[in-house]
Structure 1
Amino acid sequence: MTNFSQSLAQELSLRPCQVESAIALLSEGATIPFIARYRKERTGEMDETQLRQLSERYAYLTELEARKQVILESIEQQNKLTPDLKNKILACQQKTDLEDLYLPYRPRRRTRATQAREQGLQPLAAWIEKQNHPQAQPQSLQQQAQQYISAEQGIKATADALKGAADILAEAIAEQAKLRSYVRDTLYKQGEFVSRIKTKYPEGSTKFEMYRSFQARANRIAPHNLLALYRGESEGILSVALACDESPLLAHLESQIIRAKTREIRDFYRTVIEDAFNRLMKPSLTNEVRATCKAIADRESIETFETNLRELLLSSPAGMKPTLGIDPGFRTGCKVVALDQTGQFLEYEAIFPHQAAAQREKAGHTLKRMINKHQIDLIAIGNGTAGRETDSFVAEVLKNLDRKPVKVMVNESGASIYSASEVAIAEFPNLDITVRGAISIARRLQDPLAELVKLDPKSIGVGQYQHDVDQKLLKQKLNDTVESCVNYVGVDLNTASKELLTFVSGITGAIANNIVTYRNQNGVYKNRRQLLKVAKLGPKAFEQAAGFLRIRAGKNPLDNTAVHPESYTVVEKIAQDLQVDLTHISQIPERLQPGDLKRYISDAVGEPTLRDMLAELEKPGRDPRAEFKYATFKEGITELSDLTTGMTLEGVVTNVTNFGAFVDIGVHQDGLVHISQMADFFVQDPKQVVKVGQVVKVRVLEINEKLKRIGLSMRSST
């Protein structure tokens, strides 16, 4: 632990005591959201990002240590473990360096060198190695090799013997850790990815046209470019190579290996080195560098996905109000559902506003009836097929109503996946798949976070090459993001779905199911302590979860705040001293003098926690998400053909990538704001300028109806 603490503290710019405390808490089963929020005193106020970085690096180093022990035991069993080798292994900080040291001792399949040893050529290779010395007396390779000719061993001539010896020497050279490290590093820093479209694909016939003749430095290539190359390669359209000037590499290897002054030995070694490089080093190290570049591209792309997902999950909720959800359609009609202020399904109708005039009129009457009957405040319209046409129809209906609900176009990505999922079937077993989709659209408007957690994040449509990146890492990072968002916002214990509860700190799927079951059987929760009556929810799970669960209008006002039950006595003491009733806890922060806070510091509750508590008491039950805003699409602009160059429109950012942002402007096809068109100043990272869900003003730069591409700009027109 001490060695880890020192190295991790230095690497992450933390104090060793912070590292040790955080690792101890993680080892005890505490979750990262819980530690970040309720154990600030122990960690020195480490935030979630620092804790996740620490957790990842600690796991890496733990795995590295375990691997070192396996390798040490393996080499020791071979009676080849020297003190120097042991020290080198123990000093390794990277898995790559460790595996390089282990390579000569790793159990392997039969190689050309193995066969040469079986032929008795190891002594010849050792003799040649001794000749590779500045003081060695010149001796004939041919004469020495003559001694190893053996029909029984399959060595018919001196050339066969020398070839076998060369294979042994080449393998030894290729397994030298320092040489492998140099070649790997050079390939990464100086190598270039070069791609060509295969000749059977004529110009303009593939989506990889920009990679027809492409090259970029391996250590500088943009993540989206590399992932596109690999996808094109896997689809058989592109040929992709990692090219590097090999002459300097070979010259360096020769300078490190060749010591002899005699020309015969020097020429022999040059051939050996060339074989070691081309046959044994270049293929494996090229693959390693390609894998390293892929891992870097994966991480950067996943980070972009994480950021987009976070912004989407934390999108402003329109609020829990009576809502109509509309899943638009032309031939099959529009599915309309009514939900109450808790998101419960009330009624369903199918309307056909895009067919005959009589059907359109009937659809209008149906819509009016549902709006009036259920006192609808919000109308959520899916932005897929027929979305803009349905939006125009709803606008017509609302013109003649005294009660005018707010209508919003809602991104319906993944709604169809949800509606066919086991989650949706369990929730609405008797409803049609299309009706479930309309319900999901409505709930996304009421509370995006509560609804979107039911989906696999990959189906939401805010990723970049999401099917090409490391799927295990992607799943882990996205789950971390969802967990972080859910705990940041907090969860209403009496309305939350099982799926939402699963992401609350300390709550497993089984416990989430039991929480809902208890609620269904016993009615709404009246206080947080009731959670301890839930099956499988013990004191540890309660400690981890309670602060993130809210009970509105419960017996204790503190249950509707992020104040943890373990700190209730502190708040009660402050309230008593200030003569404030707990029903008016919002008065506590304004009455408490700044200097008085220190009076309540104890071993259990420090100043950071007290500050958090006061901030929470200022607005009990507040939602930390931003105020709700929505885009207003321009009337009459519903199809790509309606656009003209120079037109200024309002839209919503649907995805942010490394090369720009996609914006929904209401024409069924998102437009691209390239990174060069995002601002009047240089933009290095699009995420610093825009975020998913943001309402933006854009200008149409280019329209390509054939390819269905729209070029947009956020720069000033001057």
Structure 2
Amino acid sequence: MQLGHFIKSKTNLPIKGIENTIQLLNEDCTVPFISRYRKERTGNLDEVQIGDIVKYKAQFEELEKRKGSILKSLDEQGVLTDDLKLKITNTSDLTALEDVYLPYKKKRKTKAETALKIGLEPLSKIIMSQNATDIHSIAVKYLNDEVATAVDALEGARYIIAEWINERTDIRNNIRYQLEKFAAINTKVIKSKQEDEKAQKYRDYFEWSESLNRIPSHRLLAILRAEKEGVIRVKIEIDDDRAVTKVEERVIRSNNECSLQIKLAIQDSYKRLLFPALSNEILSLAKQKADEGSINVFAKNLKQLLLGAPLGEKTILAIDPGFRTGCKIVCLNAQGALVHNETIYPHAPKNDAIGAMKKINSLVAAYKIEAIAIGNGTASRETEQLIRKMRFNKDVEVFVVSEAGASIYSASKIARDEFPNYDVTVRGAVSIGRRLVDPLAELVKIDAKSIGVGQYQHDVDQTKLKTSLDTVVESCVNSVGVNINTASVPLLSYVSGIGQKLAENIVNYREEKGAFNSRNDIKKVTRLGNKAFEQSAGFLRIKNGENPLDNSAVHPESYTIVSKIAKDLKMSVSNLIGNKEVLQKIELQKYCTNPVGLPTLKDIVAELEKPGLDPRKKAKVFTFNQNIRSINDLHEGQLLPGIVNNITNFGCFVDIGIKESGLVHVSNLADKFVSDVGEIVSLHQQVIVKVLEVDVARKRIQLSMNHK
């Protein structure tokens, strides 16, 4: 099967679009570039569809690589026939390929191999022919120095038959079918762990049974984590008698002494070879499916977080709150640069609230502060209440900002390079302030796994998780666009075609030569060649540059089209930009060429209507219920404002302004059945929730959004 047809069989996308996308990928084009600027080539495929092509292209290449390895092994063994080669070449599934290879695969020493070496294969074939009537008499003929009795000979023959049965694809597939349909996953606590305090978080699974094909991904991952930590034992079970009977129906066609021997061999093969291998396989596949579900949830959450509402370029006073160590304060100018820092002690044990308020007032006035950002960690509510008591002589908006991952950033090399003369507490406060200004620009500096918006992220396949999250970050960065004259190295590194090294070169150039005045100046950056320019230019923005199009998503390769449109309308490009009335009357068909069609022209016009428009919403002030300070203040029936701070497959968690977030189970999200939590809520959504249950001892809060 060819690559294009393999991908079509998996995606059902048009073959022409698949093949053109593959060609673009082979030319080192990135997914954001292809989806945005090569719509005519792909047939207007979106990022998700192109991402699927990338995924299945990698799968196909892995399959082909494995085929090559197997063919080489078979050739070296001298067993590669034309039929076998054709069978392997035509296989389009990795599991099926391994089944074909299984009889020839080099194995560690087995009972069957020992039996073959002592000459018992002919006896095995006689038994499998199922024609012999006195098999014990026949077995006696195979006695030798290593086979003492007929019983030993028959046992050895059965080992060979057991392996033949294990290697039959039809039998393996039948047991796979039964495992897929009927397997149950059962758990049992290890007695020594039953009273272990650390194991109590898994007590729901001390004795558990559930259909494997119906178990939710979060529950399977929790069970497997408990097993890994030595708390429980996990078993996969099906109806063994039924499974063995199904094998017998495929193998036995007589009712004599041979069939009795085959029955024994089938039972041995099932118990020792087939079931252990295939039950592990089905559990592994279930784990992969659970991983995929968990990674998808993480990816969706991360995207919503990265595309969170920015406040924009404002002067910020950011506070990293604390009790004993005080509240770290930083002042940032409109470009996010640190201009002042110090520590105040408004809370216990010093309780200098009056001094703290005076200091904040003076800083707000001195640095013309427009907004205050308060981290949502320890002492956050107390600090917020303090700030809201204050009266400033100008409008100052107050925001509570998530601290998730801020400590990771503050101790990172990126933070040390940015602020070599400041300690981690100052860097953390800066991160809180900058997150308010532009969440995307700040959060890309942190390992996505540290942001804490997924489920069981440490239990899933780490390579797949990283690939998925990197793809999300790349997509978000390129969908928003990046100001090349202010962006950090981490932010620039996610721009299509750039990467870490070129990002460093761009910043070095900027520091040595000053700001970029045009997109053409980008070509002067060391080692930034034509390909990198082609892939990146449309996503890099230059404000107040020589060409107004440089601050838009119009690619430089399309500047001549815009100039022609402007010339035909007897207008300058500057006057054309933002002139919605004129732009909507353009006859786009007049400007279609072989490489440029209506999809690209429509994108150009849409961009000219609102050039460089940030697709994100603007940040809004939110206030928690000021009477709720701890879990002890909660009681059933309360209606409270909250912010969704995590989404999982089983519901969402809501921050109601205290240390513990509450869970809105999927069954309490709406007055209808909910199959996808993400269809009901989004990260950072402001909601009203009802308190259903409060478990102070376990620090668990059950909430509902279905309270109308």
1:328 counterpart (321, 337, 341):
321
Aligned-pair CA distance for 1:613: 0.7
1:486 counterpart (477, 501, 511):
477
Aligned-pair CA distance for 1:204: 9.8
2:205 aligned partner, one-letter code: Y
1:223 aligned partner, one-letter code: S
Q: Percent identity among equivalent residues?
A: 46
| Alignment match, 1:195 | 187
Q: Using the TM superposition, name which of 184-193 and 330-339 deviates more.
A: 184-193
1:218 aligned partner, one-letter code: L
Aligned-pair CA distance for 1:212: 2.7
1:601 counterpart (586, 592, 600):
592
| Alignment match, 1:286 | 279
Aligned-pair CA distance for 1:703: 1.2
Q: Residue 191 of structure 1 contacts residue 243 of structure 1 at CA under 8 Å; is this kept in 2?
A: yes
1:245 aligned partner, one-letter code: D
Q: Residue 578 of structure 1 contacts residue 592 of structure 1 at CA under 8 Å; is this kept in 2?
A: no
Q: Residue 583 of structure 2 contacts residue 605 of structure 2 at CA under 8 Å; is this kept in 1?
A: no
| Alignment match, 1:372 | 365
Whole-Å separation in 2 of the counterparts to 1:593 and 1:676: 46
| Alignment match, 1:173 | 165
Whole-Å separation in 2 of the counterparts to 1:459 and 1:7: 36
Q: 1:562 to 1:229 in 2, by over 3 A?
A: same
| Structure 2: gaps (5+ residues) | none
Q: Deviations over 1:199-256 (max 9, x none)?
A: 3344795111222332221111100010010011111112211111111111110011
1:685 counterpart (666, 676, 681):
676
Aligned-pair CA distance for 1:665: 0.7
Whole-Å separation in 1 of the counterparts to 2:50 and 2:629: 47
1:245 counterpart (217, 239, 250):
239
Does 1:301 find its partner at 2:300? no
Taking the TM superposition and a 5 Å limit, the aligned residue runs for 1:244-283 are 244-262=238-256, 264-283=257-276
| Structure 1: gaps (5+ residues) | none
1:404 aligned partner, one-letter code: D
| Alignment match, 1:120 | 119
Whole-Å separation in 2 of the counterparts to 1:15 and 1:519: 44
Whole-Å separation in 1 of the counterparts to 2:506 and 2:548: 21
Q: Residue 398 of structure 2 contacts residue 621 of structure 2 at CA under 8 Å; is this kept in 1?
A: no
Q: Deviations over 1:637-681 (max 9, x none)?
A: 221112222111111111000100001110111111111110111
Aligned-pair CA distance for 1:357: 7.3
2:147 counterpart (146, 151, 155):
155
Whole-Å separation in 2 of the counterparts to 1:184 and 1:357: 67
Q: Deviations over 1:28-69 (max 9, x none)?
A: 000000000000010000000000101111111122122222
Aligned-pair CA distance for 1:699: 1.1
2:544 counterpart (553, 557, 560):
553
Q: Residue 580 of structure 1 contacts residue 588 of structure 1 at CA under 8 Å; is this kept in 2?
A: no
Aligned-pair CA distance for 1:401: 1.5
Q: Residue 575 of structure 1 contacts residue 588 of structure 1 at CA under 8 Å; is this kept in 2?
A: no
Q: Deviations over 1:87-114 (max 9, x none)?
A: 3222211101100110000112111111
2:167 aligned partner, one-letter code: E
Aligned-pair CA distance for 1:285: 1.0
Taking the TM superposition and a 5 Å limit, the aligned residue runs for 1:521-560 are 521-560=512-551
Normalised by the size of structure 1, how large is the TM-score? 0.96
Aligned-pair CA distance for 1:588: 4.5
SS in 1 for 2:486: coil
Taking the TM superposition and a 5 Å limit, the aligned residue runs for 1:540-619 are 540-592=531-583, 594=585, 596-619=587-610
Taking the TM superposition and a 5 Å limit, the aligned residue runs for 1:463-478 are 463-478=454-469
Whole-Å separation in 2 of the counterparts to 1:593 and 1:258: 76
| Alignment match, 1:669 | 660
Q: Deviations over 1:674-703 (max 9, x none)?
A: 111101111111111011111111111111
Q: Using the TM superposition, name which of 590-599 and 172-181 deviates more.
A: 590-599
SS in 1 for 2:192: coil
2:175 counterpart (177, 183, 192):
183
Q: 1:118 to 1:646 in 2, by over 3 A?
A: same
| Alignment match, 1:39 | 38
Does 1:350 find its partner at 2:343? yes
Whole-Å separation in 1 of the counterparts to 2:66 and 2:702: 51
Aligned-pair CA distance for 1:595: 6.0
Whole-Å separation in 1 of the counterparts to 2:580 and 2:2: 44
2:492 counterpart (482, 490, 501):
501
SS in 2 for 1:621: coil
Aligned-pair CA distance for 1:358: 6.7
Whole-Å separation in 2 of the counterparts to 1:595 and 1:431: 55
Whole-Å separation in 2 of the counterparts to 1:594 and 1:214: 66
Normalised by the size of structure 2, how large is the TM-score? 0.98
Does 1:56 find its partner at 2:55? yes
Taking the TM superposition and a 5 Å limit, the aligned residue runs for 1:406-425 are 406-425=397-416
Q: Residue 630 of structure 1 contacts residue 695 of structure 1 at CA under 8 Å; is this kept in 2?
A: no
Q: 1:179 to 1:60 in 2, by over 3 A?
A: same
Q: Residue 321 of structure 2 contacts residue 380 of structure 2 at CA under 8 Å; is this kept in 1?
A: yes
SS in 2 for 1:696: strand
Q: Residue 379 of structure 1 contacts residue 406 of structure 1 at CA under 8 Å; is this kept in 2?
A: yes
Q: Using the TM superposition, name which of 462-471 and 187-196 deviates more.
A: 187-196
Q: Residue 660 of structure 1 contacts residue 686 of structure 1 at CA under 8 Å; is this kept in 2?
A: yes
Q: Deviations over 1:534-567 (max 9, x none)?
A: 0010000000000000011111110000000000
SS in 1 for 2:305: helix
Whole-Å separation in 1 of the counterparts to 2:305 and 2:180: 36
Number of corresponding residues: 706
Whole-Å separation in 2 of the counterparts to 1:679 and 1:316: 25
| Alignment match, 2:201 | 207
Does 1:230 find its partner at 2:221? no
1:442 aligned partner, one-letter code: G
1:104 aligned partner, one-letter code: P
Whole-Å separation in 2 of the counterparts to 1:358 and 1:387: 15
Whole-Å separation in 2 of the counterparts to 1:222 and 1:507: 39
Q: Deviations over 1:146-192 (max 9, x none)?
A: 122223xx221111111111111111111112211221221122101
Does 1:426 find its partner at 2:417? yes
Does 1:363 find its partner at 2:356? yes
SS in 2 for 1:200: helix
Does 1:387 find its partner at 2:380? yes
Q: Residue 71 of structure 1 contacts residue 102 of structure 1 at CA under 8 Å; is this kept in 2?
A: yes
Aligned-pair CA distance for 1:378: 1.2
SS in 2 for 1:208: helix
Whole-Å separation in 2 of the counterparts to 1:543 and 1:449: 24
Whole-Å separation in 2 of the counterparts to 1:202 and 1:16: 57
Whole-Å separation in 2 of the counterparts to 1:592 and 1:624: 20
Whole-Å separation in 2 of the counterparts to 1:278 and 1:166: 13
Whole-Å separation in 1 of the counterparts to 2:370 and 2:155: 85
SS in 1 for 2:352: helix
Q: Residue 576 of structure 2 contacts residue 583 of structure 2 at CA under 8 Å; is this kept in 1?
A: no
Whole-Å separation in 2 of the counterparts to 1:670 and 1:685: 21
SS in 2 for 1:207: helix
Whole-Å separation in 2 of the counterparts to 1:576 and 1:163: 91
Aligned-pair CA distance for 1:261: 3.1
2:371 aligned partner, one-letter code: L
1:121 aligned partner, one-letter code: L
Whole-Å separation in 1 of the counterparts to 2:566 and 2:268: 81
SS in 2 for 1:404: coil
Aligned-pair CA distance for 1:470: 0.3
SS in 1 for 2:689: strand
Aligned Cα root-mean-square deviation (Å): 1.5
Q: Residue 378 of structure 1 contacts residue 407 of structure 1 at CA under 8 Å; is this kept in 2?
A: yes
Taking the TM superposition and a 5 Å limit, the aligned residue runs for 1:309-324 are 309-324=302-317
